Every structure is written in C-alpha cells, then in structure tokens.
Amino acid sequence: MTEAKTTITGASVETFLEGVEPPARAEEARALDVLFRKITGEEPRMWGPSIIGYGEYSTTYDSGRKVNSLKIGFSPRKAKHALYLSSGYSDAAEKERREAALSRLGKHETGKGCLYVKKLSDVDLAVLEELVAIGWRTMQRVFPRG
C-alpha cells in the first residue's frame, strides 16, 4: 500500500504565510485564510509543505487504499493560487450551483479538483466565497465526521 504524499505536518500556518513570496501573494494568501476560516469555522493546518487545509476526512477506496485528506484548502503557488474545493464530490444540485458560480467568478482556470486564480483582483470575491461555501457544504455532507 502506498503512503499518501500529502499529510498533515506540524508546521505553523502563520510561519508558512510569512514566507510566501512575493509580498502581494502573501497578502492574498492571508485574505484567503480569512475567507476559509469564515466559511469553515476551522483552524487551518499545513498539509505537506505548501497546502493550507481546513477540516479533514478519512475514506477507503474500493481498492482498499485508506486516505486521510483535507476537506478544502488552498496553496499560494508562485504562478497562481490553487484552491482545493473537492468539487468531484458534488451532487447534481451542487454541481449546477458550482458551474453557475464559476461562470460569474471572473478570470480563472479549473483542473480535476482545483480552481486556479492568478490574482484575487481577477475574480469576484463574493462569488469566490460562494464557491468555497459550496465546497465546504459538499464535503460536510459527504464526510460528516473527520
């Protein structure tokens, strides 16, 4: 059985945020932290060297592989912020809400389970808050216990 690559570390979120470069990216990361804390009510934890996660869950795949992961979170990468909103678990109604919100968000890219934003000024922050809430609500429903 392979070990998960991204696990909770004992690293300080505050120390990590202090080291984010450039300063504008660090300022945006702090704004994202405030937003995620507001939506989740959770204290963030570091997952691996660069992901700030809120909440956690455990599951076992059909293959038997056990996984412990963050419910939602973000990583302030050099080129753009990667937001992990667990959209792969959305039911039809949440998927529709998510797609509608993405259409109003502003300049962004999406990946398999991520939302990428170069600068927060490129997006509507109220819509971003809506997307974070959709991701959190979905993960709370699918994985109600940590």
- Other residues' Cβ atoms within 10 Å of the Cβ of residue 38: 11
Is the pLDDT at 4 greater than 70? The verdict is no
- The confidence band for 1, taking pLDDT boundaries of 50, 70 and 90, is very low
Q: In the chain, which ranges are E strands? A: 45-47, 51-60, 66-76, 81-84, 109-110, 114-117
Tell me what the mean pLDDT of segment 2-13 comes to. 81
Q: How far is residue 96's CA from residue 105's CA, in Å, rounded to a whole number?
A: 14
* Percent of the chain surpassing pLDDT 70: 95
Nearest to 24 by CA among 93, 111, 120, 109: 120
- The confidence band for 92, taking pLDDT boundaries of 50, 70 and 90, is confident
Amino acid, single-letter form, for residue 1: M
